[in-house]
Amino acid sequence: MAVLDTSLTRGLEAIGTGAYVVDEEGRILAVNTRARELLARTAEDLLGHDAHDLLHRDAHGQPLPTSRCGMRQAFHAGRTAQGEEDYFARGDGSLLPIAWLLTPYDIGDEGAGTLVVFHTVEHTAQTDPRPEPAAGPLRELERLALLADATTRLTSTLDVDEALERLVSLVVPRLADWVIVDLITEHDEVWRTAVVHAEGGALVRRDDLQGPMPPVPEASPMPLSRALRGVASTVAGPGTYQREPDSGLAVEQRRLFDATGMHSAAIAPIRSTRAVLGALTLGRAEDQVAFTPADLPLVEDIARRAGLALDNARLYQRQRKVAETMQNHLLPQMPGVPGLQMTVRYLPAPDASQVGGDWYDAFPMSDGSTALAVGDVVGHDLDAAAGMAQVRNMLRAYAWSQHELPGRIVTRLDEALQHITDVDMATMIFARIEAADAGQWQLSWTNAGHPPPLLISREGLARYLTDGHGIVLGAGAGTPRPDAATLLEPGSTLVLYTDGLIEAPGHSLDEGLNRLRRHAAALAHRPLSSFTDHLLRRVRPADNEDDVALLALRTPALRAPALGR
């Protein structure tokens, strides 16, 4: 059964007439409510079907050959086209006379798509079955198609810069040859964020006209001042700002008109549901048709959609910054251990707005050894972060007070988790390291369901420490934990990490482990900080959806003996 594409459908529902989107093969991906009503068909009747075969008919209700179908020809050519007199087959067997507009449509990661907007018309007998379309209805269809495109493209990103780029590409050159975006920052400062010109089929950014702007005057009647206060949208021209300027903002507007050569502009507020975020200016220089007040509702509609998109992106980024700050404060500073180099990194998931349960730790033990830990509490929310802090603090307490092997300490921790924390499940490696003889270091550890540590020799030989592996925390309280031990040679590098470094959708865990091993071996000669940074850049999957915590340490290399005289 076909499934309705909800992200595409949300954009189509903003259109006041029938609309659907097809993929590169002409199959229907999404359809709005009005189209289903006009066609007397359910979503299941439409989704996944070839739109031409299902809907397109001639005036007698017969299937229409593709060679005679203007819509199909425009679809294959990938161009915008329109028609005023065609027919769709309704679900009850009747014919629906329609006017239509077809245009390429961005459907994100799914590839190229095509939007079809249509409405019913009264047909009259004519000699030419395909007359030139009348201007009025088709202009309305173009407006609706533009608004649908704006809704889909602007609301499908949570990045401010990307939202602005999409806004610019939406309106230039379809509505204007210049677009100017002025945004109000969180500190109530105005910043001219974008000044872009359509030139020879390309978009050219005028960096010299961008930057900080004077404050918004409280009572100025000038168009941009009113828009930035959220008062009204206005049509303006060069003459509007030739009078004596009433503010620094008016001076900048005069400079803008002089530099761009715009003879007409439409200026509208960019609003969210909570505040005025800025102003959108569309300008025409090469296009000789001036804006009129009749154009303002469309500009306002686009600015309103831009405002919602920008507000959502700002809220997301603010929340993400707070979450990252909280996570970084929860993670500890690394202790200085004589003779050992140690570095850590924490990277939040690129598309997550909340903190996660990935963590690392290192701290001195009462017997002079150093404890090492890395783990992952299940979840990607504040509960996971709180659970992570609980597990880490309890581990520190047990490790300091109990002079036992790592396996016994983690067994005690597992027994306590279900009684005094809300943590359901977690993975962890807990280890201790101390100096041994002949420049070597003794490492002992236990592994509670976590990816294995990686050990790289000074010569670049890399191997995983797979011993000491037991079940995850929370799956078997009281179950004895195995211990393992090995000697680290001088100049060895040990890497402890969480699964976000090696796991990626559509790829096996073995692929990720092999990728990590190969790159770590190749980078073994680099200083530890450089080794860690390059390892993260090379190994972390581009489509990573998880946090990454990483702890790397290196034992000191033996100094070469001094040459005798």
The tens digit of pLDDT for each residue in 276-286 reads: 999 999 999 98
Please report which confidence band the pLDDT of residue 471 belongs to, taking 50, 70 and 90 as the band edges.
very high
**Residue 37 resides in a domain:** yes
User: 359-391, pLDDT tens digit by residue?
Assistant: 899 999 888 899 999 999 876 555 666 777 788
User: What is the distance between the alpha carbons of residues 26 and 52, in angstroms, rounded to a whole number?
Assistant: 7
Please report which confidence band the pLDDT of residue 138 belongs to, taking 50, 70 and 90 as the band edges.
very low
Number of domain units in the chain? 3
**Residue 326 resides in a domain:** no
Tell me: do 523 and 420 sit in the same domain: yes
Among candidate residues 130, 154, 178, the one where a domain is terminated: 154
Q: Are 60 and 87 in contact (CB under 8 A)?
A: no
**Residue 430 resides in a domain:** yes
Tokens found for residue 416: 């306590």
User: 482-496, pLDDT tens digit by residue?
Assistant: 999 999 999 999 999
Token look-up 């924390």 returns 421
Tell me: do 487 and 457 sit in the same domain: yes
Mean pLDDT of 323-350: 73
The whole-number pLDDT of residue 551 equals 95
Tell me: do 254 and 108 sit in the same domain: no
Q: Is the pLDDT of residue 334 over 80?
A: no
Using a pLDDT cut of 70, give the percent of the chain over it. 87
Tell me: do 172 and 280 sit in the same domain: yes
Pairing mode, if any, of strands 202-205 and 493-497?
unpaired
Higher-scoring residue by pLDDT: 117, 318: 117
The whole-number pLDDT of residue 565 equals 43
Q: Is the pLDDT of residue 136 over 50?
A: no
The whole-number pLDDT of residue 416 equals 87
Most confident option among 142-151, 315-324, 384-393: 384-393
**Residue 340 resides in a domain:** yes
Please report which confidence band the pLDDT of residue 137 belongs to, taking 50, 70 and 90 as the band edges.
very low
Nearest CA among 278, 274, 355 for reference residue 312: 274
Q: Is the pLDDT of residue 499 over 80?
A: yes
The whole-number pLDDT of residue 131 equals 37
Among candidate residues 120, 154, 188, the one where a domain is terminated: 154
Range of the domain at 41: 6-154
Mean pLDDT of 402-407: 90
Among candidate residues 139, 154, 169, the one where a domain is terminated: 154
- Residue 235 neighbours by CB distance under 10 Å: 18
**Residue 146 resides in a domain:** yes
Judged by average pLDDT, the poorest of 11-20, 259-268, 348-357, 443-452 is 348-357
Higher-scoring residue by pLDDT: 341, 8: 341
The whole-number pLDDT of residue 462 equals 96
Tell me: do 306 and 370 sit in the same domain: no
Tell me: do 312 and 335 sit in the same domain: no
Tell me: do 78 and 208 sit in the same domain: no
The whole-number pLDDT of residue 324 equals 61
User: What is the distance between the alpha carbons of residues 4 and 414, in angstroms, rounded to a whole number?
Assistant: 45
Mean pLDDT of 44-48: 92
Q: What is the CA radius of gyration of the chain?
A: 32
Q: Is the pLDDT of residue 332 over 70?
A: no
The whole-number pLDDT of residue 351 equals 53
Tell me: do 43 and 94 sit in the same domain: yes
User: What is the distance between the alpha carbons of residues 557 and 170, in angstroms, rounded to a whole number?
Assistant: 59
**Residue 324 resides in a domain:** no
Mean pLDDT of 461-482: 89
Please report which confidence band the pLDDT of residue 336 belongs to, taking 50, 70 and 90 as the band edges.
confident
Tell me: do 149 and 168 sit in the same domain: no
Judged by average pLDDT, the poorest of 178-187, 536-545, 556-565 is 556-565
Q: Is the pLDDT of residue 124 over 60?
A: no
Tokens found for residue 343: 């570095």
**Residue 565 resides in a domain:** no
The whole-number pLDDT of residue 127 equals 39
The whole-number pLDDT of residue 129 equals 39
The whole-number pLDDT of residue 350 equals 59
SS3 55: helix
What does the DSSP assignment read for 348-411?
--TT--S--SEEEEEEE-TTS-EEEEEEEES-SSHHHHHHHHHHHHHHHHHHHH--S-HHHHHH
Tell me: do 169 and 298 sit in the same domain: yes
User: 416-444, pLDDT tens digit by residue?
Assistant: 887 787 778 889 999 999 999 888 999 99
The whole-number pLDDT of residue 429 equals 97
Q: Is the pLDDT of residue 239 over 80?
A: yes
Please report which confidence band the pLDDT of residue 561 belongs to, taking 50, 70 and 90 as the band edges.
low
Please report which confidence band the pLDDT of residue 263 belongs to, taking 50, 70 and 90 as the band edges.
very high
What are the backbone dihedrals phi and psi of residue 24, each rounded to the nearest 5 degrees, phi first?
-65, -20
Q: Is the pLDDT of residue 145 over 80?
A: no
The whole-number pLDDT of residue 257 equals 95
CA dihedral 218, 222, 223, 228 (to 10 degrees): -20
Judged by average pLDDT, the poorest of 1-15, 114-128, 129-143, 178-192 is 129-143
CATH number at residue 268: 3.30.450.40
Mean pLDDT of 248-268: 94
Q: Is the pLDDT of residue 5 over 60?
A: no
CATH number at residue 80: 3.30.450.20
Tell me: do 165 and 199 sit in the same domain: yes
The whole-number pLDDT of residue 141 equals 66
SS3 10: helix
Average pLDDT, the chain: 85
CATH number at residue 413: 3.60.40.10
**Residue 291 resides in a domain:** yes
The whole-number pLDDT of residue 333 equals 67
The whole-number pLDDT of residue 215 equals 94
Mean pLDDT of 68-96: 86
Tell me: do 303 and 369 sit in the same domain: no
